[in-house]
Structure 1
Amino acid sequence: MCKRACALLKCYINGVQNLESLYKYCPVYNFENLENEYAIQNVLNNQVTFSKRTNFNDLFDSKIDFIIPTKSELRAVHVQLKGAEKHEFKQLFFGEAGQRNFEAFRRNVNQKFDEYLFFCLTDKPDNNLMWSHYANSHKGFCLEWNVKDINAEKVIYQDSIARFELLDVFKMQFGLLDNGEVGRKIWEALKIKLTEWEYESEYRVQFGSDMKPLINKQEPNYTLVSYKPEWITAIIFGCRMDKRAIAYLDEKLPAFIERRYAVERKSSIEIVVKH
Protein backbone atom coordinates (compact mmCIF):
# COMPACT_ATOMS: atom_id res chain seq x y z
CA MET A 1 0.00 0.00 0.00
CA CYS A 2 1.43 3.42 -0.96
CA LYS A 3 2.56 5.95 1.65
CA ARG A 4 -0.01 8.49 0.50
CA ALA A 5 -2.90 6.04 0.85
CA CYS A 6 -1.73 5.00 4.32
CA ALA A 7 -1.62 8.63 5.41
CA LEU A 8 -5.23 9.08 4.38
CA LEU A 9 -6.48 6.58 6.96
CA LYS A 10 -4.12 7.57 9.77
CA CYS A 11 -5.54 10.60 11.64
CA TYR A 12 -6.40 12.09 15.02
CA ILE A 13 -8.70 10.10 17.31
CA ASN A 14 -11.79 12.06 18.32
CA GLY A 15 -12.95 11.12 21.80
CA VAL A 16 -10.49 8.28 22.51
CA GLN A 17 -7.41 10.28 23.55
CA ASN A 18 -7.06 8.35 26.80
CA LEU A 19 -7.18 4.94 25.15
CA GLU A 20 -4.18 3.06 23.83
CA SER A 21 -6.07 0.22 22.12
CA LEU A 22 -9.37 -0.73 20.57
CA TYR A 23 -10.47 -4.27 19.75
CA LYS A 24 -12.27 -6.17 17.01
CA TYR A 25 -13.87 -9.56 17.72
CA CYS A 26 -13.68 -12.01 14.82
CA PRO A 27 -15.47 -15.37 14.37
CA VAL A 28 -14.03 -18.63 13.04
CA TYR A 29 -16.46 -21.37 11.99
CA ASN A 30 -14.85 -24.04 9.83
CA PHE A 31 -11.58 -25.31 11.27
CA GLU A 32 -11.26 -27.82 8.43
CA ASN A 33 -11.03 -25.07 5.83
CA LEU A 34 -9.17 -22.14 7.34
CA GLU A 35 -8.09 -20.85 3.93
CA ASN A 36 -11.70 -19.81 3.28
CA GLU A 37 -12.48 -18.39 6.71
CA TYR A 38 -13.47 -14.77 6.11
CA ALA A 39 -12.07 -13.22 9.32
CA ILE A 40 -8.79 -15.14 9.10
CA GLN A 41 -8.17 -14.19 5.49
CA ASN A 42 -9.00 -10.57 6.27
CA VAL A 43 -6.30 -10.29 8.92
CA LEU A 44 -3.76 -12.15 6.80
CA ASN A 45 -4.50 -9.80 3.89
CA ASN A 46 -4.37 -6.69 6.10
CA GLN A 47 -7.92 -5.61 5.41
CA VAL A 48 -11.08 -4.83 7.38
CA THR A 49 -14.77 -4.82 6.53
CA PHE A 50 -16.74 -1.57 6.53
CA SER A 51 -20.47 -2.40 6.64
CA LYS A 52 -23.67 -0.50 5.97
CA ARG A 53 -26.25 -0.20 8.74
CA THR A 54 -28.56 -2.53 6.77
CA ASN A 55 -26.00 -5.26 7.44
CA PHE A 56 -26.02 -4.83 11.25
CA ASN A 57 -27.53 -7.51 13.49
CA ASP A 58 -29.46 -5.04 15.68
CA LEU A 59 -32.84 -4.11 14.19
CA PHE A 60 -32.64 -0.60 15.69
CA ASP A 61 -28.93 0.11 15.16
CA SER A 62 -28.58 3.52 13.45
CA LYS A 63 -32.31 3.59 12.79
CA ILE A 64 -33.49 7.19 12.41
CA ASP A 65 -36.70 8.97 13.42
CA PHE A 66 -37.00 11.54 10.65
CA ILE A 67 -38.81 14.64 11.86
CA ILE A 68 -41.07 16.34 9.29
CA PRO A 69 -41.03 20.13 9.73
CA THR A 70 -44.06 22.04 10.90
CA LYS A 71 -45.81 24.60 8.71
CA SER A 72 -44.37 27.45 10.75
CA GLU A 73 -40.83 26.05 10.29
CA LEU A 74 -41.40 25.77 6.55
CA ARG A 75 -42.70 29.35 6.36
CA ALA A 76 -39.61 30.55 8.24
CA VAL A 77 -37.40 28.93 5.58
CA HIS A 78 -39.59 30.16 2.74
CA VAL A 79 -39.22 33.83 3.68
CA GLN A 80 -35.42 33.49 3.54
CA LEU A 81 -35.47 32.40 -0.10
CA LYS A 82 -35.62 34.57 -3.21
CA GLY A 83 -36.63 34.28 -6.84
CA ALA A 84 -36.80 30.85 -8.46
CA GLU A 85 -35.74 29.06 -5.26
CA LYS A 86 -38.60 30.66 -3.34
CA HIS A 87 -41.08 29.56 -6.00
CA GLU A 88 -39.61 26.02 -6.17
CA PHE A 89 -39.75 25.62 -2.38
CA LYS A 90 -43.41 26.70 -2.31
CA GLN A 91 -44.34 24.26 -5.06
CA LEU A 92 -42.57 21.37 -3.36
CA PHE A 93 -43.63 21.74 0.25
CA PHE A 94 -46.87 23.73 0.38
CA GLY A 95 -50.33 22.73 -0.76
CA GLU A 96 -51.74 19.33 -1.59
CA ALA A 97 -48.49 17.90 -2.97
CA GLY A 98 -46.52 18.83 0.14
CA GLN A 99 -47.28 15.71 2.19
CA ARG A 100 -46.49 13.37 -0.71
CA ASN A 101 -43.24 15.20 -1.37
CA PHE A 102 -42.30 15.00 2.30
CA GLU A 103 -42.72 11.23 2.29
CA ALA A 104 -40.73 10.83 -0.92
CA PHE A 105 -38.05 13.13 0.47
CA ARG A 106 -37.90 11.15 3.73
CA ARG A 107 -37.41 7.90 1.77
CA ASN A 108 -34.61 9.48 -0.27
CA VAL A 109 -32.83 10.75 2.84
CA ASN A 110 -33.19 7.35 4.51
CA GLN A 111 -31.59 5.73 1.45
CA LYS A 112 -28.75 8.23 1.74
CA PHE A 113 -28.19 7.13 5.35
CA ASP A 114 -28.05 3.53 4.08
CA GLU A 115 -24.99 4.40 1.97
CA TYR A 116 -22.77 5.21 4.96
CA LEU A 117 -20.12 2.62 5.82
CA PHE A 118 -18.73 1.84 9.31
CA PHE A 119 -16.00 -0.20 10.92
CA CYS A 120 -16.94 -1.10 14.50
CA LEU A 121 -14.62 -1.73 17.47
CA THR A 122 -14.77 -1.87 21.26
CA ASP A 123 -12.51 -0.96 24.16
CA LYS A 124 -13.20 -4.26 25.97
CA PRO A 125 -11.15 -7.36 25.03
CA ASP A 126 -12.42 -9.51 27.93
CA ASN A 127 -16.19 -9.18 27.60
CA ASN A 128 -17.85 -12.59 27.78
CA LEU A 129 -20.93 -11.48 25.82
CA MET A 130 -18.81 -10.01 23.05
CA TRP A 131 -16.78 -13.19 22.78
CA SER A 132 -20.04 -15.16 22.66
CA HIS A 133 -21.85 -12.96 20.11
CA TYR A 134 -19.06 -11.87 17.78
CA ALA A 135 -16.33 -14.51 18.08
CA ASN A 136 -18.48 -17.62 17.59
CA SER A 137 -18.83 -18.48 21.29
CA HIS A 138 -15.11 -18.04 22.07
CA LYS A 139 -14.00 -20.12 19.05
CA GLY A 140 -12.73 -17.03 17.21
CA PHE A 141 -10.16 -14.37 18.02
CA CYS A 142 -9.87 -10.68 18.86
CA LEU A 143 -7.53 -8.11 17.28
CA GLU A 144 -5.96 -5.26 19.22
CA TRP A 145 -5.62 -2.00 17.26
CA ASN A 146 -3.36 0.89 18.11
CA VAL A 147 -5.79 3.81 18.39
CA LYS A 148 -3.34 6.38 17.02
CA ASP A 149 -3.71 4.80 13.60
CA ILE A 150 -7.51 4.95 13.25
CA ASN A 151 -10.12 7.68 13.49
CA ALA A 152 -12.72 6.19 15.85
CA GLU A 153 -15.56 7.82 17.76
CA LYS A 154 -17.57 6.54 20.73
CA VAL A 155 -21.09 5.31 20.15
CA ILE A 156 -23.81 7.14 22.10
CA TYR A 157 -26.27 4.93 23.98
CA GLN A 158 -29.78 6.15 24.75
CA ASP A 159 -33.31 4.86 25.37
CA SER A 160 -34.71 5.83 21.97
CA ILE A 161 -33.51 5.83 18.38
CA ALA A 162 -31.85 8.90 16.89
CA ARG A 163 -33.90 11.87 15.66
CA PHE A 164 -32.99 13.79 12.54
CA GLU A 165 -34.59 17.02 11.35
CA LEU A 166 -35.45 16.81 7.65
CA LEU A 167 -35.59 20.60 7.67
CA ASP A 168 -31.77 20.64 7.91
CA VAL A 169 -31.53 18.87 4.55
CA PHE A 170 -34.05 21.29 3.01
CA LYS A 171 -31.94 24.20 4.24
CA MET A 172 -28.77 22.63 2.87
CA GLN A 173 -30.27 22.07 -0.56
CA PHE A 174 -31.39 25.68 -0.74
CA GLY A 175 -28.06 27.04 0.49
CA LEU A 176 -29.20 28.05 3.98
CA LEU A 177 -27.10 25.50 5.88
CA ASP A 178 -23.53 24.33 5.39
CA ASN A 179 -23.02 20.84 3.91
CA GLY A 180 -20.39 20.02 6.53
CA GLU A 181 -22.73 20.85 9.39
CA VAL A 182 -25.46 18.58 8.00
CA GLY A 183 -22.86 15.85 7.48
CA ARG A 184 -21.83 16.11 11.14
CA LYS A 185 -25.46 15.81 12.23
CA ILE A 186 -25.92 12.72 10.07
CA TRP A 187 -22.79 11.13 11.57
CA GLU A 188 -23.97 11.94 15.12
CA ALA A 189 -27.29 10.22 14.39
CA LEU A 190 -25.52 7.18 12.97
CA LYS A 191 -23.49 6.75 16.17
CA ILE A 192 -26.58 6.20 18.33
CA LYS A 193 -27.62 2.78 19.65
CA LEU A 194 -30.17 1.74 22.24
CA THR A 195 -29.07 1.53 25.88
CA GLU A 196 -29.48 -2.27 25.99
CA TRP A 197 -26.30 -2.52 23.84
CA GLU A 198 -24.19 -0.38 26.15
CA TYR A 199 -22.20 -3.40 27.34
CA GLU A 200 -20.48 -3.40 23.93
CA SER A 201 -18.76 -0.06 24.61
CA GLU A 202 -18.56 0.45 20.87
CA TYR A 203 -16.50 2.87 18.77
CA ARG A 204 -17.07 3.57 15.09
CA VAL A 205 -14.86 4.53 12.19
CA GLN A 206 -16.70 6.18 9.32
CA PHE A 207 -15.59 5.43 5.78
CA GLY A 208 -14.74 8.69 4.05
CA SER A 209 -14.05 9.61 0.43
CA ASP A 210 -10.35 10.03 1.29
CA MET A 211 -10.19 6.28 2.00
CA LYS A 212 -11.09 5.30 -1.57
CA PRO A 213 -7.45 4.52 -2.48
CA LEU A 214 -7.53 1.85 0.27
CA ILE A 215 -10.47 -0.12 -1.16
CA ASN A 216 -9.69 -3.75 -2.03
CA LYS A 217 -13.23 -4.86 -2.82
CA GLN A 218 -16.63 -3.18 -2.93
CA GLU A 219 -19.94 -5.04 -2.56
CA PRO A 220 -23.52 -3.76 -2.12
CA ASN A 221 -23.52 -4.00 1.70
CA TYR A 222 -19.84 -3.87 2.60
CA THR A 223 -16.41 -2.69 1.48
CA LEU A 224 -13.00 -4.24 2.18
CA VAL A 225 -10.41 -1.62 3.13
CA SER A 226 -6.67 -2.20 3.53
CA TYR A 227 -4.48 -1.11 6.45
CA LYS A 228 -0.83 -1.26 7.51
CA PRO A 229 0.05 -4.54 9.32
CA GLU A 230 1.73 -2.66 12.18
CA TRP A 231 -1.57 -1.04 13.12
CA ILE A 232 -2.46 -4.39 14.71
CA THR A 233 -0.52 -4.75 17.96
CA ALA A 234 -1.84 -8.11 19.22
CA ILE A 235 -4.09 -11.04 18.49
CA ILE A 236 -6.07 -12.70 21.29
CA PHE A 237 -7.03 -16.32 20.72
CA GLY A 238 -10.43 -17.37 22.12
CA CYS A 239 -10.89 -19.78 25.02
CA ARG A 240 -12.36 -22.45 22.70
CA MET A 241 -10.36 -21.69 19.57
CA ASP A 242 -9.18 -24.83 17.79
CA LYS A 243 -5.44 -25.46 18.09
CA ARG A 244 -5.20 -25.84 14.33
CA ALA A 245 -6.47 -22.30 13.82
CA ILE A 246 -4.13 -20.95 16.49
CA ALA A 247 -1.16 -22.65 14.85
CA TYR A 248 -2.26 -21.47 11.40
CA LEU A 249 -2.42 -17.82 12.45
CA ASP A 250 0.68 -18.04 14.63
CA GLU A 251 2.69 -19.28 11.65
CA LYS A 252 1.45 -16.68 9.18
CA LEU A 253 1.14 -13.48 11.21
CA PRO A 254 4.14 -11.11 11.55
CA ALA A 255 6.29 -11.67 14.64
CA PHE A 256 5.72 -8.13 15.95
CA ILE A 257 2.03 -8.89 16.56
CA GLU A 258 1.90 -10.16 20.14
CA ARG A 259 0.11 -13.48 20.76
CA ARG A 260 -2.29 -13.46 23.70
CA TYR A 261 -4.88 -15.89 24.97
CA ALA A 262 -8.33 -15.52 26.48
CA VAL A 263 -8.47 -17.79 29.52
CA GLU A 264 -11.61 -18.85 31.36
CA ARG A 265 -11.53 -18.07 35.05
CA LYS A 266 -14.17 -18.81 37.69
CA SER A 267 -16.56 -16.03 36.64
CA SER A 268 -14.63 -13.97 34.11
CA ILE A 269 -12.30 -13.92 31.10
CA GLU A 270 -8.64 -13.08 31.60
CA ILE A 271 -6.27 -12.08 28.78
CA VAL A 272 -2.79 -13.55 29.23
CA VAL A 273 0.50 -13.88 27.40
CA LYS A 274 1.91 -17.42 27.48
CA HIS A 275 5.68 -17.80 27.58
Structure 2
Amino acid sequence: MLHKFVGGDDAAILDVMDKVLTGSLKFASAAHFNDPFEFKFKSVAPSRDRFDAWHRQHHPERSAAELENAWAAFAGPAADWNTSYAPRANVLSRLFVLCLVERWDSHLMWSHYTNAHRGFAVVYKPEVIDTLAASADHVGSGHVSYRAEPPELRWFEASPGEMLGPILFTKPTAWSYEKELRIVRAGEPAGAIFVTVDPSLISGVILGARAPASLIAKAIAARRSRPDLRVQQVSSGGGYDLTLVEVDENLKRANHIL
Protein backbone atom coordinates (compact mmCIF):
# COMPACT_ATOMS: atom_id res chain seq x y z
CA MET A 1 0.00 0.00 0.00
CA LEU A 2 0.99 3.64 -0.46
CA HIS A 3 0.47 6.40 2.05
CA LYS A 4 0.02 10.16 1.94
CA PHE A 5 0.45 12.08 5.20
CA VAL A 6 -1.91 15.01 5.68
CA GLY A 7 -1.80 17.81 8.24
CA GLY A 8 -3.41 21.14 9.03
CA ASP A 9 -5.25 22.87 11.81
CA ASP A 10 -8.19 21.05 13.41
CA ALA A 11 -10.83 22.95 11.41
CA ALA A 12 -9.15 22.77 8.00
CA ILE A 13 -8.26 19.09 8.30
CA LEU A 14 -11.94 18.14 8.26
CA ASP A 15 -12.45 19.71 4.83
CA VAL A 16 -9.24 18.11 3.60
CA MET A 17 -10.46 14.65 4.62
CA ASP A 18 -13.72 15.23 2.75
CA LYS A 19 -11.82 16.09 -0.43
CA VAL A 20 -9.30 13.29 -0.06
CA LEU A 21 -11.96 10.62 0.38
CA THR A 22 -13.70 11.72 -2.82
CA GLY A 23 -10.45 10.93 -4.66
CA SER A 24 -8.81 14.36 -4.81
CA LEU A 25 -5.01 14.32 -4.99
CA LYS A 26 -2.77 17.37 -4.69
CA PHE A 27 0.31 17.66 -6.90
CA ALA A 28 2.47 20.34 -5.30
CA SER A 29 4.56 22.72 -7.38
CA ALA A 30 8.22 21.72 -7.37
CA ALA A 31 8.95 25.40 -6.72
CA HIS A 32 7.13 25.28 -3.38
CA PHE A 33 8.71 22.22 -1.79
CA ASN A 34 9.71 22.69 1.84
CA ASP A 35 13.32 21.73 1.06
CA PRO A 36 14.78 24.41 -1.27
CA PHE A 37 17.69 22.11 -2.12
CA GLU A 38 15.56 19.57 -3.96
CA PHE A 39 15.92 19.20 -7.73
CA LYS A 40 19.52 20.41 -7.67
CA PHE A 41 22.02 19.06 -10.16
CA LYS A 42 25.59 19.46 -11.32
CA SER A 43 25.70 20.61 -14.92
CA VAL A 44 28.20 18.83 -17.18
CA ALA A 45 28.76 20.72 -20.44
CA PRO A 46 28.69 18.71 -23.68
CA SER A 47 31.29 18.55 -26.41
CA ARG A 48 30.37 20.20 -29.69
CA ASP A 49 30.29 16.82 -31.42
CA ARG A 50 27.84 15.47 -28.82
CA PHE A 51 25.73 18.63 -29.09
CA ASP A 52 25.46 18.31 -32.88
CA ALA A 53 24.77 14.56 -32.83
CA TRP A 54 21.98 14.98 -30.26
CA HIS A 55 20.24 17.66 -32.31
CA ARG A 56 20.50 15.58 -35.48
CA GLN A 57 18.64 12.82 -33.65
CA HIS A 58 16.08 14.78 -31.61
CA HIS A 59 15.66 18.09 -33.46
CA PRO A 60 16.77 17.70 -37.07
CA GLU A 61 14.50 20.57 -38.09
CA ARG A 62 16.69 23.22 -36.46
CA SER A 63 18.66 25.43 -38.80
CA ALA A 64 22.43 25.97 -38.67
CA ALA A 65 21.87 29.49 -37.30
CA GLU A 66 19.61 28.15 -34.54
CA LEU A 67 22.22 25.58 -33.60
CA GLU A 68 24.94 28.20 -33.40
CA ASN A 69 22.81 30.34 -31.10
CA ALA A 70 22.03 27.33 -28.93
CA TRP A 71 25.69 26.34 -28.72
CA ALA A 72 26.59 29.85 -27.62
CA ALA A 73 24.38 29.30 -24.57
CA PHE A 74 26.74 26.48 -23.50
CA ALA A 75 30.04 27.97 -24.58
CA GLY A 76 29.49 31.71 -24.12
CA PRO A 77 29.89 34.03 -21.11
CA ALA A 78 26.39 33.21 -19.81
CA ALA A 79 26.99 29.45 -19.84
CA ASP A 80 26.59 29.03 -16.07
CA TRP A 81 23.23 30.82 -16.09
CA ASN A 82 21.99 28.93 -19.15
CA THR A 83 23.05 25.46 -17.99
CA SER A 84 22.37 25.65 -14.26
CA TYR A 85 20.06 28.39 -12.99
CA ALA A 86 17.65 28.79 -15.93
CA PRO A 87 16.97 25.04 -16.48
CA ARG A 88 16.33 24.48 -12.77
CA ALA A 89 13.98 27.46 -12.61
CA ASN A 90 12.05 26.05 -15.56
CA VAL A 91 11.80 22.64 -13.91
CA LEU A 92 10.60 24.13 -10.64
CA SER A 93 7.90 26.27 -12.27
CA ARG A 94 6.39 23.69 -14.62
CA LEU A 95 6.55 20.39 -12.78
CA PHE A 96 4.18 19.17 -10.06
CA VAL A 97 4.82 16.28 -7.71
CA LEU A 98 2.71 13.91 -5.65
CA CYS A 99 4.77 12.34 -2.86
CA LEU A 100 3.69 8.97 -1.47
CA VAL A 101 5.48 6.57 0.86
CA GLU A 102 5.35 2.84 1.36
CA ARG A 103 5.66 3.03 5.13
CA TRP A 104 3.23 4.45 7.67
CA ASP A 105 5.24 3.77 10.84
CA SER A 106 7.73 6.65 10.82
CA HIS A 107 7.79 8.84 13.91
CA LEU A 108 9.38 11.64 11.91
CA MET A 109 6.73 11.68 9.20
CA TRP A 110 3.87 11.70 11.68
CA SER A 111 5.52 14.56 13.56
CA HIS A 112 6.50 16.61 10.49
CA TYR A 113 3.57 16.12 8.13
CA THR A 114 0.45 15.60 10.27
CA ASN A 115 0.60 18.55 12.65
CA ALA A 116 2.18 16.47 15.41
CA HIS A 117 -0.20 13.50 15.02
CA ARG A 118 -3.39 15.60 14.77
CA GLY A 119 -3.82 14.74 11.09
CA PHE A 120 -4.04 11.48 9.21
CA ALA A 121 -2.55 9.33 6.48
CA VAL A 122 -4.64 8.21 3.53
CA VAL A 123 -3.90 4.69 2.30
CA TYR A 124 -3.94 4.14 -1.47
CA LYS A 125 -3.95 0.92 -3.41
CA PRO A 126 -0.83 0.49 -5.60
CA GLU A 127 -3.03 0.70 -8.71
CA VAL A 128 -3.25 4.47 -8.19
CA ILE A 129 0.20 4.74 -9.82
CA ASP A 130 -0.98 3.24 -13.11
CA THR A 131 -4.11 5.39 -13.06
CA LEU A 132 -2.10 8.60 -12.67
CA ALA A 133 0.50 7.49 -15.21
CA ALA A 134 -2.23 7.27 -17.87
CA SER A 135 -2.56 11.07 -17.92
CA ALA A 136 -1.27 12.94 -20.96
CA ASP A 137 0.57 15.29 -18.58
CA HIS A 138 2.41 12.45 -16.85
CA VAL A 139 6.19 12.99 -16.80
CA GLY A 140 7.32 10.02 -14.74
CA SER A 141 6.96 8.03 -11.54
CA GLY A 142 9.25 5.96 -9.39
CA HIS A 143 11.09 5.52 -6.12
CA VAL A 144 13.37 8.27 -4.89
CA SER A 145 17.10 7.62 -4.73
CA TYR A 146 18.93 9.12 -1.73
CA ARG A 147 22.49 10.33 -2.31
CA ALA A 148 25.17 12.42 -0.69
CA GLU A 149 25.71 14.53 -3.83
CA PRO A 150 23.34 15.98 -6.42
CA PRO A 151 23.05 14.05 -9.70
CA GLU A 152 24.83 15.18 -12.82
CA LEU A 153 22.93 16.65 -15.72
CA ARG A 154 25.01 15.45 -18.64
CA TRP A 155 23.70 17.57 -21.45
CA PHE A 156 22.77 15.86 -24.73
CA GLU A 157 23.81 12.35 -23.71
CA ALA A 158 20.25 10.96 -23.61
CA SER A 159 16.68 11.86 -24.46
CA PRO A 160 15.22 14.88 -22.61
CA GLY A 161 13.22 12.62 -20.29
CA GLU A 162 16.20 10.42 -19.47
CA MET A 163 18.39 13.43 -18.71
CA LEU A 164 15.75 14.86 -16.37
CA GLY A 165 14.94 11.63 -14.52
CA PRO A 166 17.80 11.64 -11.96
CA ILE A 167 17.03 15.25 -11.04
CA LEU A 168 13.37 14.50 -10.31
CA PHE A 169 14.00 11.31 -8.34
CA THR A 170 17.06 12.11 -6.23
CA LYS A 171 17.07 13.61 -2.72
CA PRO A 172 19.74 14.16 -0.04
CA THR A 173 20.48 11.18 2.18
CA ALA A 174 19.00 12.98 5.20
CA TRP A 175 15.54 12.21 3.77
CA SER A 176 16.14 8.50 3.29
CA TYR A 177 13.88 7.51 6.19
CA GLU A 178 10.87 8.52 4.07
CA LYS A 179 11.28 5.78 1.42
CA GLU A 180 9.40 8.03 -0.97
CA LEU A 181 7.74 7.21 -4.24
CA ARG A 182 6.74 10.19 -6.36
CA ILE A 183 4.58 10.86 -9.40
CA VAL A 184 5.47 13.86 -11.56
CA ARG A 185 3.27 15.70 -14.05
CA ALA A 186 3.69 18.83 -16.15
CA GLY A 187 1.56 21.96 -16.12
CA GLU A 188 1.53 25.71 -16.37
CA PRO A 189 3.08 27.63 -13.45
CA ALA A 190 0.76 27.47 -10.43
CA GLY A 191 0.81 26.69 -6.73
CA ALA A 192 -0.59 23.19 -7.17
CA ILE A 193 -2.59 20.91 -9.45
CA PHE A 194 -5.51 18.84 -8.17
CA VAL A 195 -6.36 15.53 -9.82
CA THR A 196 -9.32 13.27 -9.02
CA VAL A 197 -9.15 9.47 -9.09
CA ASP A 198 -11.76 6.83 -8.35
CA PRO A 199 -12.30 6.76 -4.55
CA SER A 200 -12.19 2.96 -4.69
CA LEU A 201 -8.40 3.35 -5.00
CA ILE A 202 -8.42 4.45 -1.35
CA SER A 203 -8.36 1.47 0.99
CA GLY A 204 -8.43 3.36 4.28
CA VAL A 205 -7.23 6.13 6.57
CA ILE A 206 -4.87 6.05 9.52
CA LEU A 207 -5.55 8.66 12.19
CA GLY A 208 -2.73 10.27 14.12
CA ALA A 209 -2.32 9.45 17.79
CA ARG A 210 -3.62 12.92 18.73
CA ALA A 211 -6.39 13.08 16.14
CA PRO A 212 -9.22 15.23 17.51
CA ALA A 213 -12.63 13.69 18.15
CA SER A 214 -14.06 15.60 15.19
CA LEU A 215 -11.60 13.96 12.78
CA ILE A 216 -12.27 10.51 14.21
CA ALA A 217 -16.00 11.08 13.79
CA LYS A 218 -15.47 12.23 10.21
CA ALA A 219 -13.59 9.04 9.35
CA ILE A 220 -16.22 6.84 10.99
CA ALA A 221 -18.98 8.65 9.10
CA ALA A 222 -17.14 8.06 5.82
CA ARG A 223 -16.96 4.35 6.59
CA ARG A 224 -20.74 4.19 7.09
CA SER A 225 -21.21 5.09 3.43
CA ARG A 226 -18.35 2.85 2.35
CA PRO A 227 -18.05 -0.22 4.63
CA ASP A 228 -14.83 -1.41 2.94
CA LEU A 229 -12.98 1.73 4.06
CA ARG A 230 -10.62 0.74 6.85
CA VAL A 231 -10.21 3.23 9.71
CA GLN A 232 -7.25 2.78 12.05
CA GLN A 233 -5.33 4.90 14.51
CA VAL A 234 -1.69 5.06 15.51
CA SER A 235 -0.94 3.58 18.90
CA SER A 236 2.01 2.19 20.81
CA GLY A 237 2.47 -1.16 22.41
CA GLY A 238 4.19 0.26 25.47
CA GLY A 239 7.47 0.96 23.72
CA TYR A 240 8.53 3.32 20.95
CA ASP A 241 7.36 1.14 18.06
CA LEU A 242 4.20 2.36 16.36
CA THR A 243 1.25 0.02 16.01
CA LEU A 244 -2.26 0.34 14.62
CA VAL A 245 -5.62 -0.21 16.28
CA GLU A 246 -8.97 -0.51 14.56
CA VAL A 247 -11.40 2.33 15.21
CA ASP A 248 -15.04 1.29 15.68
CA GLU A 249 -18.31 3.11 16.29
CA ASN A 250 -18.05 2.84 20.06
CA LEU A 251 -14.44 3.91 20.34
CA LYS A 252 -14.37 7.60 21.20
CA ARG A 253 -10.61 7.60 21.21
CA ALA A 254 -8.35 4.69 20.35
CA ASN A 255 -5.45 6.06 22.41
CA HIS A 256 -4.88 7.99 25.58
CA ILE A 257 -1.89 10.03 24.45
CA LEU A 258 -1.83 13.59 25.73
The answer to whether TM tops 0.5 is yes
Aligned residues: 230
Superposition map of 1:1-275 within 5 A: 21-30=1-10, 33-34=11-12, 37=14, 39-69=16-46, 73-78=47-52, 85-94=63-72, 98-100=76-78, 103-104=81-82, 106-114=84-92, 115-151=94-130, 152-168=141-157, 181-207=159-185, 220-253=190-223, 254-265=226-237, 266-274=239-247
- CA drift of 1:132 comes to 0.4
User: Counterparts of 1:47 and 1:83 in 2: how far apart (Å)?
Assistant: 41
With over 3 angstroms needed to count, the CA separation of the structure-2 counterparts of 1:231 and 1:187, relative to structure 1, is same
Per-residue deviation, 1:67: 2.6
**Alignment CA distance shift 1:102-1:147 (3 Å):** same
Contact kept? 1:93, 1:99, Cα under 8 Å: no
145-154 or 129-138: bigger deviation: 145-154
Residue deviations 1:188-243 (CA, integer Å, cap 9, x gap): 3211001110000000012268xxxxxxxx87121111011110001111111011
CA distance in 2, matches of 1:108, 1:38: 38
In the aligned structure 2, how far is the partner of 1:95 from the partner of 1:140?
48
Q: Are the counterparts in 1 of residues 23 and 202 from structure 2 also a CA contact under 8 Å?
A: no
| Contact kept in structure 2, 1:60 and 1:161, CA below 8 Å | no
1:149 counterpart letter in structure 2 = V
Counterpart of 2:180, as a letter, is E
Q: Distance in 2 between matches of 1:83 and 1:223?
A: 33
SS class of match (2:149): coil
Partner amino acid for 1:39?
V
- In the aligned structure 2, how far is the partner of 1:53 from the partner of 1:205? 12
CA offsets 1:32-58 (integer angstroms, 9 cap, x no match): x35x75532431442011012211111
* C-alpha contact (below 8 Å) 1:68/1:102 kept by paired residues: no
Mark the CA change 1:76 to 1:25 in structure 2 (over 3 Å): closer, same or farther.
Answer: closer
> Which residue type is aligned with residue 160 of structure 1?
E
C-alpha separation in 2, matches of 1:102 and 1:63 = 14
Pick closer, same or farther for the CA change 1:140–1:64 going to 2, 3 Å. same
Do the aligned partners of residues 76 and 204 (structure 1) sit closer, same or farther apart at CA in structure 2, a change above 3 Å counting? closer
Counterpart Cα distance in 2 of 1:203 and 1:96: 33
For structure 1, the residue ranges without an aligned partner over 5 or more in a row are 1-20, 169-176, 210-217
1: CA distance, partners of 2:70 / 2:21: 52
Aligned-pair CA distance for 1:94: 4.8
Post-superposition CA distance 1:158-214 (Å, at most 9, x none): 00122212345xxxxxxxx6xxx31133133211001110000000012268xxxxx
Deviating more after overlay: 200-209 vs 153-162: 200-209
| Matched letter for residue 35 of structure 2 | D
CA RMSD in angstroms comes to 3.0
